[in-house]
Amino acid sequence: MSPAIPLKAIQAAAARIADSVVRTPLLRLPLKDAPAEIYLKLENLQPIGSFKLRGAGNAMALAARDELARGVYTASAGNMAQGVAWIAARLGIPCSVVVPDHAPETKLAAVRRLGGEVVKVPFDQWWHAIITGEFAGLEGIFIHPVSNPDVIAGNGTIGLEILDDLPDVDAVVIPYGGGGLSSGIASALRALKPSARVYAVEVETAAPLAASLRAGEPVAVEYTPSFVDGIGGASVLPEMWPRVRDLLDDSLVVSLDEIRAAIRLLAERQRVIAEGAGAASVAAALAGKAGSGKVVCVVSGGNIESAILAKILAAD
């Protein structure tokens, strides 16, 4: 079976979620001394401040109506939680989210505002829910934040939009949490512009994909929580390994300091607010890790704690 999501599934997803998501802009980052011609795909401008609305919307639109009536739940550090809760609120159905104990309060408050029930658990228990696709005690449909093919197809609609706006793109850099975003976008690009390079980007404190690609097989790494909460994990999900191994050119690893610098630059130069995960792609491009030419950085989200943002912006 091909690791790519079929192009027809991604195109159908684009039509299906058109009234639920924003067709986000692709803007040039005007830097004279940059190693590449950098563009920003601003998914932080979605109604929930994150791309996750695309996958959640597609998966829930395809679910059986009678099953949806029982409600939905997911496991998320915050952004997928908001995506599922936002769609659930529109449909008038119950929603619960399992979150790790380090999840930022900004994201959890947003879930609660949307009517979602938050279940906070230790990181290992949360990660177990992602690996197994279930959580004891919660009812309804589990919307997997990463490996659900319908979620991945929804994420892939970003790739269609990038190619519409920049047909001669040379590389796309995508934040990597579990591979659902990167493999979706890569599926669209491999079908329509196979010459484009597609990179994941991880943070140094949690980079299992880079380690796995070096080893040639999935390996576990030490996970260190940081302000970069939207990407990073302890391992590559087994079901995602064939997809990301074959669809992605590499995983680019950036430091916390590089991400902080990217957050400051985006805020000061472009008035763009990006969370740590969203700025990671820009950090990689600014460091020259994505090469030259026309490089698109997916700014995956902008849900950053105000206190953390203020501290980063105040730093020298």
**Residues with catalytic roles:** 52, 300
Q: How many CB atoms lie within 10 A of CB 164?
A: 11
Q: Within 13 Å of residue 309, how many CA atoms lie on the same side as its CB?
A: 19
Alpha carbon distance 231, 224 (integer Å): 11
Contacts of 106 by beta carbon, 8 Å cutoff, 6+ apart: 78, 303, 304, 305, 306
Residue 174: closest CA among 189, 164, 194: 189
Helix or strand or coil: residue 155? Answer: helix
The single-letter code of the amino acid at 21 is: V
In Å, what is the CA distance from 41 to each residue of 160, 213, 219?
Answer: 12, 26, 31
Is residue 116 within 8 Å of residue 84, measured between CB atoms?
Answer: yes
Is residue 287 within 8 Å of residue 295, measured between CB atoms?
Answer: no
Alpha carbon distance 181, 198 (integer Å): 12
Residue 151: closest CA among 201, 206, 76: 76
Beta bridge partner(s), residue 97 = 74, 118
What angle separates helix 180-192 from helix 149-165, to the nearest 10 degrees? 50
Q: How many CB atoms lie within 10 A of CB 271?
A: 7
Alpha carbon distance 240, 190 (integer Å): 17
